[in-house]
Amino acid sequence: MQSHPAIDATLSQIGCRLRRTREKKDLSLAELSRATGISKSTLSRLESGHRKPSLELLLPIAAALAVPLEEIVAAPRILDPRMPQEATRAGGRVIVPLSRAQGEPKAYKLTIPPSEHQPFPRTHAGYEWLYVLSGRLRLVLGDHDLLLGPGEVAEFDTRHPHWFGSTGRGSVEVLSLFGGQGERAHIRARPATPKGASATRQPARTASRRAGEPSFDLP
């Protein structure tokens, strides 16, 4: 199981809190052992940090010391989970980060205005998952030219040449999850070519970006 720094720090301080609380109550280890049914050696190891605390041990100890469990555990403060809507604009697109945690994947909401831009496929290391909220999204992925409507999903390895944008008939809103690890592409949308696209499309060009950097397929 992956460790969490805040949780690890809290667990490491429980032993000291137990000792301080016991001493404030003028109880010896032997007296606390009799009150809880927990052996002196286990209590000593808890206080010294050599025994990992568990609820099975902490609940009877808190009851015997007549203190709330929170006083012993002092769990890390829970931050306001709401994300500030800090939008940025790039190439006419509005990009709103939906996660602030470090690591991957990263979540974004994209609003893409209508445009008639010629697709300019890009490649970069990573993996992207797209979910259409509203409007219609055009996705060019390798030899695929697809239209996705609300509720449709595409996920793909971004090392494949790719581009996505509006169909030119209205804005489109998309949820995007991006990670740095590439995987096999999965297409979950109806293959379709917008009217007039086949007549005007030029041979696809490709551009590369830095590894792990989401492109958002700017025009």
Q: How far apart are CA 30 and CA 49, in angstroms?
A: 18
pLDDT band per the 50, 70, 90 thresholds, residue 186: very low
Q: Which of 14-23, 101-110, 192-201 has the lowest mean pLDDT?
A: 192-201
Tell me, letter by letter, the H, E, C secondary structure of 123-154. Answer: ECCCEEEEEEEECCEEEEECCEEEEECCCCEE
Mean per-residue pLDDT of the chain: 79
- Supply the pTM of this predicted model: 0.51
Contact 156, 187 (CB under 8 A): yes
- Counting Cβ atoms within 10 Å, is residue 186 exposed (0-12), middle (13-18) or buried (19+)? exposed
Contact 96, 133 (CB under 8 A): no
More confident position, 193 or 143: 143
3 state SS of 51: coil
pLDDT tens-digit map of 85-142: 678 888 889 999 887 766 678 889 999 999 877 888 989 888 999 999 999 999 999 9
pLDDT band per the 50, 70, 90 thresholds, residue 183: very low
Contact 126, 179 (CB under 8 A): yes
More confident position, 197 or 111: 111
Q: Which of 105-119, 136-150, 174-188, 204-218 has the lowest mean pLDDT?
A: 204-218
The mean pLDDT of 72-80, rounded to a whole number, is 65
More confident position, 27 or 212: 27
More confident position, 187 or 59: 59
What's residue 86's pLDDT? 79
The mean pLDDT of 1-18, rounded to a whole number, is 73
Identify the structural domains of the chain with CATH numbers, from first to last: 5-73 (1.10.260.40), 88-208 (2.60.120.10)
What's residue 4's pLDDT? 64
The mean pLDDT of 181-199, rounded to a whole number, is 47
